Structure 1
Amino acid sequence: MKHALIPVTAALLLGMAPMANAAPVTSLTALQTAIDNAKSGDRVVLAAGRYEAKQPIRITRKSGVTVAAASVGGVEIYGASGFTFDSSERVTVEGFRFTHTATVLVPSNSHHIRLSRNVFQLKSPAEKHWVNVDGDDVEVDHNTFTGKSTQGVYLSVFGPSSGMAQRIHVHHNYFYNHSFTGSNGGESIRLGVSSKQRFSANALIENNLFEKANGDPEAISVKSSDNVVRYNTIRDSKGQIVLRHGNRTRVEGNIMLGGASGIRFYGNDHVIVNNLVTGSSGNGITVGSGDVIDDTSSTGKDRPDRVLLAFNTVSGNAGGIAGENRTYGPDSCVIANNIVTGSGQLVRQTQFSKFTWEGNLLWGGSAGDIPASGYRTADPKLSGELRRPAADSPAVDASAGSYPAVELDIDGQRREGRKDVGADERSGSGAERAPLTTADVGPNAH
């Protein structure tokens, strides 16, 4: 598959058809006046051009208003400030290119805000986040985040002092080229913080593309509870999907190609299923261990308890499924019906306590630290970029146990009868997913 890394240029961002027929305003002063006078259902449009924002563009006490660029990417906001929200709801900001220095903040007193089809390429100082969400029911979709070389997060989800922002939906965004070289603090998405790990966020992060997400070992860093991370593609990135804090998050159907590693988790009662990790220079999946048990607010690493790790394909990585070695090893987890291929020791961990192992299919290296009853050795006959099994693969109709929590496969197709081992359930429907590309995400995607 040919896959070009597309820089954010005028060729990518300009030349689209107008987003609305409303007469556009031609200055930020006129834009502010139009916003102040807007009523529910109004669409305020800014004409194409570059505009220096010396002070915030305020959206205050508004409901049901859209503020849009005249064409997608045709309006650049630069300077010290950008849009700010205050006590607003059901407001959409779409189609802009932001190169200013101020963080875009959705405060806790605003909700149902949508940031759509924008490009974020801020000139913010080090340690500043680019977008910070504290309000509930915020949608961040079809945006590009690119070009950050300093510490700070592309998209931070936080919340009021009493808990996490609720029901944030992040989808069809392109996170590209975070090049901060430090060891921590350059995530593409950070969902919560250590002090909020016990709070449910009920966020959904899906169908996003990450490329060269190298600002941090965590491309998606989850530090809250009760979230879903699904159907994302992470390619050629140092960043992983990491359940760093919190409990009960579902990680499903993600495609991870190349890069430094795959999925790493801490905390309790997660469900990690139907994911593909292939071609990485590190472990496909890392089972964390803890310096604390059942953490609630510290920055320590919480021992994983009762995590289901099942029906994943971990193929051709430098390491397979591996653990860590801290004071408290993971406890009572289930590792079942995964395909693990590669060389060397495919399962590596001496702290697995009271684990359930069954139905795993290993090939190419030594089994390592896995009981003989928990696996078979056979060639799964995988092929293609998504490492799908052939019709005569020993993975087909070969799973152990029922696992009702796993109804679908990596393609979102229903698993029928005795389930296949690994992420892919063979089907004649032809409805197979492919890794996301720049045509699927960002401002110009359908």
Structure 2
Amino acid sequence: MRKKLRSLLLLCCLAVMQTTTAQTTVTSLSALQSAINNASPGDVIILANGTYTASTDISITKQGTAAQPITIKAQSVAGAIITGTGGFNISSPARYIVVQGFKFTHSANKAKTGSGTSFCRFTRNIFETPGNGENLTIAGSHHEIDYNTFQHKNALGRFLAIRGSGSQIAESLWIHHNYFLDQQPQSGNGIETLQFGLSGYSMSSSNSTVEYNLFEQCAGENEMISVKASAVTLRYNTIRDCPAQFTLRHGNKCKVYGNYFINTPGIRIFGDDHFIYSNHFESCNPAINIGNGDGEVADGSPLTCHDRPDRVLIAFNTLVNNTSNITQSGRSNGLGATYTNVAYNIIQGGSTAAQIAGPYTNPTWKGNIIYNTSAGAIPGGGYVTANPQVARDTTGTFHLQSGSPAIGAATSGYTDVKFDMDGQSRTLPLDAGADQVSTAAVTARILTPSMVGHNANSTPPVNQLVDITDNGGVITGQYPNTTKPAEDIPSLIDNNTATKYFRSGRTALWVQYKSTTPAAVTKYTLTSGNDVPGRDPKNWTLQGSNDTITWTSIDSRSNETFASRGLTKNYTCTNTTAYRYYRLNITSNNGDTGTQLAEWELFALQAGSMMATLDKEVPVNVYPNPTTGLFKVRLTDKKNKSYRLIVLDAKGHQVAATVLAADQTTLEANFNLTAMPGGMYFVQVSDGLHQTTRSVFKY
């Protein structure tokens, strides 16, 4: 009976929620404003494709709900263009508003959310607003800015500016998968690409996440990203070919990890208690710039000063081929930095590993690995000189190879270093540098324009079998008792059946492939030679390993025959473990002297992009259910992302909400509905791309 009652209540609630929504298509800005003024939760307002000239702002003060936001969208992405001198102005008490799919070419400083707004979203828009001022200004909290393109700015002002109210910076923002492209250099100050806060907000905590954004050719001024707030996480962003710098300018306790810096001036650090780890720097000048402070905010210096960096962790970063690596410039009467911990970084190439002008009080240097460069300012006990054995993979990043002295370098401490540059969790022992050797799913990489911005594919592509022998790995082999050398072992993976591998003699042999990244092979193919019969393999075993010491059998075959020359045969296996090494042990052939193969291919189930490892639905459990008021929401597989959890009543009104932040490993959130009336409630869990809704019944 209770189960039937719950089902009936759920159907009734869903019916109520569905019947209150409406979809309206308008063909003018006046009709758009009228529809917005009359909108109710759940309404969808569509502006037909075309170009519209706004002479005044389009004002939005309405309130949707978490279950039924008010959506204002273009008929197709970039199909509705708004030009002129007015733009979307979302002001208090607006909440749960979605602005989607527009191209904004109106004057700068016209797109904004104001103080007192909340839970609004700009998604799939193009911002190309001319003139001085910001392309988009965000105040208020819990907003989401995702999959937008900010492009072609040649004036004073920022692409994206984050503000607050009073001395409090905007809180719980989620800025992800945006494309920032082509910001031309200007004379003057205040031309950052992304300015997160102002000095007056810097002592307030934002608890916001900026992730998976791509910055290219942005050179507004010397600061490209300027953070002037506390407790901001910036991770897995790609900053490429930008002549301006990422600067922690004001504020404390920010986390900067898993970012890719390529051909930029790297990162400059002011403020206290920051964590800078698992970042990948290549061709930067410099890579990491430790600021030389001219004041100490904790002792009363003004918020506008260059606050002396204190207790900053700079650890587990990979720096390759940078003009200069870790630096601190001199400063007249400078206060320098104190208690900086520079540990377990890989520094390869460049004139020196570190150049420190000072003052530099009570630093810690530990476990750094340097190669093809001099130590410079690093004291003798703070580094070892060794080849870290990093190699570039198909994504363009340098990963650790088997036998690297970086593997397992840190056996204790550093509990705040939780993830590597691939988005994989770090567990003890920690590997030096930005890469932790792991078989876990890769969820981050150097971004390309196709992964971000208004045209990016937000639907995870279908997983497909990929030939990992095409990924730039290395093939080797052993062929004892040979009377002549093997004929070009690399030809086994050259996709050319005219070339062949030949081993003279009848004793056992093996060939081994080292993949650039671990992969779970579920299929492989063998192609027989195309000239001499009787030399194809007969009995063999396919094995996998991650250290070349312990090998696991994946597939065994016996009495196999190849009916014709140059024949390709497919073999499947049930392997689910990702290995970096695969070995084909051939124990006999079909009677003639030697073993001949033309091709060997290994296939693994891989995603079409880094986002494809995510489930289409966020896996969620709600318990106990039914409940007397107290219940938990558990994410059964938290994938190192930020998740927003919202509890709605039967009418779609939010009654509780929380966020599981990107850098938390927490899988559970607790909710208390004790003071709420009995009935059906709904739990929504969203990662920005996917959403799961679960019902919970309260007695």
Task: Describe how 1:103-182 pairs up with structure 2 within 5 A.
Answer: 103=109, 104-123=111-130, 125-126=131-132, 128-182=133-187
**Conserved? CA contact 2:71–2:97, under 8 Å:** yes
Quickly say closer, same or farther: Cα 1:146–1:405, change in 2 above 3 A: same
**Conserved? CA contact 2:315–2:344, under 8 Å:** yes
In structure 1, what residue type is equivalent to 2:207?
N
Shift of 1:183: 5.5
Whole-angstrom distance in 2 between the partners of 1:214 and 1:356? 34
1:238 to 243, 255, 261: 243
Task: Describe how 1:40-439 pairs up with structure 2 within 5 A.
Answer: 40-63=41-64, 64-86=69-91, 87-103=93-109, 104-123=111-130, 125-126=131-132, 128-182=133-187, 184-259=189-264, 261-280=265-284, 282-294=285-297, 297-326=302-331, 327-351=334-358, 352-384=360-392, 385-399=396-410, 401-429=412-440, 431=442, 433-439=444-450
Shift of 1:277: 0.8
Unaligned residue ranges in structure 1 (runs of 5+): 1-19
Whole-angstrom distance in 1 between the partners of 2:411 and 2:224? 32
**Conserved? CA contact 1:195–1:297, under 8 Å:** no
**Matched length:** 423
Structure 1, residues 141-185: CA drift from partner, whole Å, max 9, x if none? 110000111111111111112321111111110000001332532
**Which residue of 2 is the match for residue 28 of structure 1?**
29
The alignment partner of 2:26 has SS state of coil
Structure 1, residues 331-380: CA drift from partner, whole Å, max 9, x if none? 01111000111131211003221011111001111100111111000111
Structure 1, residues 419-442: CA drift from partner, whole Å, max 9, x if none? 110000112446374311111111
Shift of 1:102: 4.3
Whole-angstrom distance in 2 between the partners of 1:251 and 1:272? 5
Quickly say closer, same or farther: Cα 1:297–1:135, change in 2 above 3 A: farther
1:440 to 440, 443, 451: 451
Root-mean-square deviation (CA, aligned residues, Å) is 1.7
Structure 1, residues 160-213: CA drift from partner, whole Å, max 9, x if none? 123211111111100000013325322111011122211112221111000001
The TM-score normalised by the length of structure 1 is 0.91
Structure holding more strand per residue: 2
Whole-angstrom distance in 2 between the partners of 1:237 and 1:199? 29
In structure 1, what residue type is equivalent to 2:41?
S
**Which residue of 1 is the match for residue 583 of structure 2?**
none
The alignment partner of 2:342 has SS state of strand
The alignment partner of 2:205 has SS state of coil
**Conserved? CA contact 1:229–1:252, under 8 Å:** yes
In structure 1, what residue type is equivalent to 2:127?
F
Shift of 1:401: 4.1
The alignment partner of 1:226 has SS state of strand
**Conserved? CA contact 1:174–1:442, under 8 Å:** yes
Whole-angstrom distance in 2 between the partners of 1:174 and 1:92? 19
The TM-score normalised by the length of structure 2 is 0.59
**Conserved? CA contact 2:36–2:62, under 8 Å:** no
The alignment partner of 1:439 has SS state of helix
Shift of 1:135: 1.1
Shift of 1:32: 1.1
**Conserved? CA contact 1:337–1:400, under 8 Å:** no
Shift of 1:216: 2.2
Of structures 1 and 2, the larger Rg is shown by 2
In structure 1, what residue type is equivalent to 2:364?
T
**Conserved? CA contact 1:391–1:426, under 8 Å:** no
**Conserved? CA contact 1:336–1:400, under 8 Å:** no
Structure 1, residues 13-68: CA drift from partner, whole Å, max 9, x if none? xxxxxxx9945211111111111111001000000000011111111233231100
In structure 2, what residue type is equivalent to 1:106?
T
**Which residue of 2 is the match for residue 13 of structure 1?**
none
Shift of 1:235: 0.7
Structure 1, residues 283-323: CA drift from partner, whole Å, max 9, x if none? 11011111101266432211100011110011111001111
Whole-angstrom distance in 1 between the partners of 2:309 and 2:414? 20
Structure 1, residues 242-274: CA drift from partner, whole Å, max 9, x if none? 101100000010011113x11110000001110
**Conserved? CA contact 1:148–1:180, under 8 Å:** no
Structure 1, residues 373-405: CA drift from partner, whole Å, max 9, x if none? 110001112221211121121111123642111
Unaligned residue ranges in structure 2 (runs of 5+): 1-20, 459-699
Whole-angstrom distance in 2 between the partners of 1:44 and 1:85? 15
Whole-angstrom distance in 2 between the partners of 1:135 and 1:343? 44
**Conserved? CA contact 2:167–2:204, under 8 Å:** no
Quickly say closer, same or farther: Cα 1:84–1:256, change in 2 above 3 A: same
In structure 2, what residue type is equivalent to 1:391?
S
Shift of 1:121: 0.2
Quickly say closer, same or farther: Cα 1:23–1:149, change in 2 above 3 A: same
The alignment partner of 2:436 has SS state of coil
Identity %: 38
Quickly say closer, same or farther: Cα 1:156–1:30, change in 2 above 3 A: same
Quickly say closer, same or farther: Cα 1:367–1:188, change in 2 above 3 A: same
Quickly say closer, same or farther: Cα 1:60–1:415, change in 2 above 3 A: closer
